[in-house]
């Protein structure tokens, strides 16, 4: 099997969990948009953006550092160092959050209850301490176990959300299964509201601990400073890069809540959730590609291999952009249950394009990771965060939702240009951007050209969009399918 096909196979495994994880947003979106008011949904989006930012702090770059130093140093020593350090930091930070929850709740607004902060503290602790065991599975290419564990927890999260948000309230309202009302009354309180979203997350995530018990048993709680110091030095720029990266992804939540209100945030967040479809393959690819790039960095054919990977990655995601943008009416009718949640859908193509550029950046960033120059990733992420912050602050008051989407596109565009400009001098990779640019122009022409065709019948409109998507898929396959089959670069294994 060629190296690219091997990477594709691992990406498929990681994709199962990644797609289901992201699909959680879509499976729960119709529930939340049907049962929650816009301000409530905006509050949930705001708090989960804080969780995403805090998780970067909890793990402080140790996952990538573990990958790097498992090759240079003894793998067990790197595992012990990374796992122990994350456990210590997570314990301190979560205990602090838990105890200071009343004060923090007053600082984050009336919609936030102290108990929500305490839920967040426990969720963050669990997510952080399982990060290194999951990284160990990735390093050992045990993608199937990784996917099964993630899938199990995701499935439980969905089931619990259904129970807490729909089933239990309906039972108490007497809609069905009224014989269960005494039991439901004993375990459920209507007044807890959106807090049950966090409860569902907490209960499901707790199952990571027994599922990863074998990996935890192999962890020795010790830090060997001579080997940990270079790990920390390598990982700290990754940590800063992660902070900038998560702000680029979630910063709109914080800024829009401050500039507009939670209702507007709820509407825009629903559009962002739909754009996350583009992130499904990107996230799966990132999980598989990071250890893959490290393992093949010394291969003399690595530059050509990495260029080919970039090419097929972008081709696939251009198709995804067209598929989602063309069929947004169908997708939004399925997942956004109230008309008011559809107010921001006109910015979806821009959001999708921003995700595409993020994926390109993931590919371009390989050079500074394998060359131990992660400080450049920090520079790019912080510059991107600056573009995100300034762009949102300046553009949201003028352009509203479109301004925030445009700020995201500018952010990732700038990061790609900076990363490519420096990377081609340090680790030259023969990327071929010309055909990809042509595909992208064609894709955008199809998306915006289709908007000019008005079809009044809803079902005919759905069918037309699906037909155009299928035609584009056939075109891309005819252009690239044979190349993928016969011109794959890499040695056979």
Q: Tens digits of per-residue pLDDT, 89-98?
A: 999 999 999 9
- What is the per-residue pLDDT across 160-211, written as a single tens digit (0 to 9) for each? 988 888 889 889 888 888 889 999 898 888 777 788 889 999 999 999 999 9
* Domain-located, residue 378: yes
pLDDT in tens, 345-397: 888 899 999 999 999 998 898 888 778 787 888 889 889 989 999 999 999 88
Tokens representing 63 are 């996952």
Interatomic CA distance for residues 396 and 244, integer angstroms: 20
248 belongs to a structural domain: yes
Is 28 part of a structural domain of the chain? yes
Q: What is the pLDDT of residues 441-457, one digit of tens each?
A: 999 999 988 888 888 88
Kindly state whether residue 491 falls inside one of the protein's structural domains: no
Q: Which residues span the domain enclosing 222?
A: 3-486
> Tokens 């930012």 sit at which residue?
53
φ, ψ for residue 90, nearest 5 deg: -65, -40
In a domain, 492, yes or no: no
**pTM of this prediction?**
0.72
239 falls within a domain: yes
* Tens-digit pLDDT profile for residues 306-323: 888 889 889 989 999 999
Residue 279 lies in a domain: yes
Where on the phi/psi map is residue 211: left (φ > 0), alpha (ψ -120 to 50), or beta?
A: alpha
The domain total for the chain is 1
* Structural domain includes residue 399: yes
Give pLDDT tens digits for 28-61: 666 677 677 777 777 777 788 888 889 999 998 8
């Amino acid at each position: 099997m060629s190296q690219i096909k091997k990477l594709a196979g691992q990406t498929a495994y990681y994709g199962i969990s990644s797609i289901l994880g992201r699909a959680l947003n879509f499976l729960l979106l119709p529930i939340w948009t049907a049962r929650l008011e816009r301000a409530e949904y905006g509050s949930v989006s705001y708090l989960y953006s804080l969780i995403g930012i805090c998780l970067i702090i909890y793990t402080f770059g140790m996952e990538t550092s573990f990958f790097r130093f498992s090759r240079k140093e003894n793998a067990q020593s790197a595992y012990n160092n990374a796992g122990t350090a994350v456990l210590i930091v997570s314990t301190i930070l979560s205990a602090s959050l838990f105890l200071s929850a009343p004060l923090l709740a007053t600082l984050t607004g009336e919609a936030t209850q102290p108990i929500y902060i305490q839920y967040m503290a426990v969720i963050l602790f669990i997510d952080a301490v399982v990060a290194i065991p999951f990284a160990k599975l990735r390093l050992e290419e045990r993608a199937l176990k990784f996917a099964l564990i993630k899938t199990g927890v995701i499935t439980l999260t969905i089931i619990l959300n259904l129970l807490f948000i729909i089933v239990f309230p309906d039972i108490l309202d007497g809609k069905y299964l009224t014989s269960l009302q005494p039991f439901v009354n004993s375990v459920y309180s209507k007044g807890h509201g959106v807090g049950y979203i966090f409860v569902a997350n907490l209960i499901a995530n707790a199952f990571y601990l027994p599922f990863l018990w074998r990996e935890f048993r192999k962890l020795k709680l010790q830090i060997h400073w001579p080997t940990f110091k270079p790990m920390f030095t390598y990982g700290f720029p990754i940590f800063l890069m992660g902070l900038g990266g998560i702000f680029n992804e979630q910063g709109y939540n914080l800024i829009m809540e401050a500039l507009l209100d939670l209702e507007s945030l709820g509407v825009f967040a629903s559009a962002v959730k739909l754009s996350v479809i583009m992130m499904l393959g990107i996230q799966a690819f990132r999980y598989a590609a990071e250890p893959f790039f490290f393992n093949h960095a010394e291969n003399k054919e690595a530059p050509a291999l990495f260029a080919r990977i970039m090419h097929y990655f972008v081709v696939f995601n251009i198709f995804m952009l067209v598929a989602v943008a063309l069929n947004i009416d169908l997708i939004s009718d399925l997942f956004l249950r109230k008309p008011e949640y559809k107010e921001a859908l006109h910015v979806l193509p821009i959001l999708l394009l921003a995700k595409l550029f993020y994926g390109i950046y993931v590919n371009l960033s390989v050079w500074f990771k394998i060359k131990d120059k992660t400080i450049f990733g920090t520079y790019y992420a912080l510059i991107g965060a600056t573009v995100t912050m300034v762009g949102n602050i300046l553009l949201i008051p003028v352009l509203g939702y479109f301004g925030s989407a445009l700020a995201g596109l500018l952010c990732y565009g700038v990061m790609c240009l900076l990363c490519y400009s420096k990377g081609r001098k340090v680790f030259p990779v023969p990327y071929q951007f010309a055909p990809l640019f042509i595909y992208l122009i064609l894709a955008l022409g199809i998306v915006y050209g289709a908007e000019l065709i008005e079809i009044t019948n809803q079902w005919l409109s759905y069918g037309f969009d699906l037909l155009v998507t299928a035609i584009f898929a056939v075109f891309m396959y005819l252009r690239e399918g044979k190349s993928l089959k016969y011109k794959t670069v890499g040695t056979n294994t």
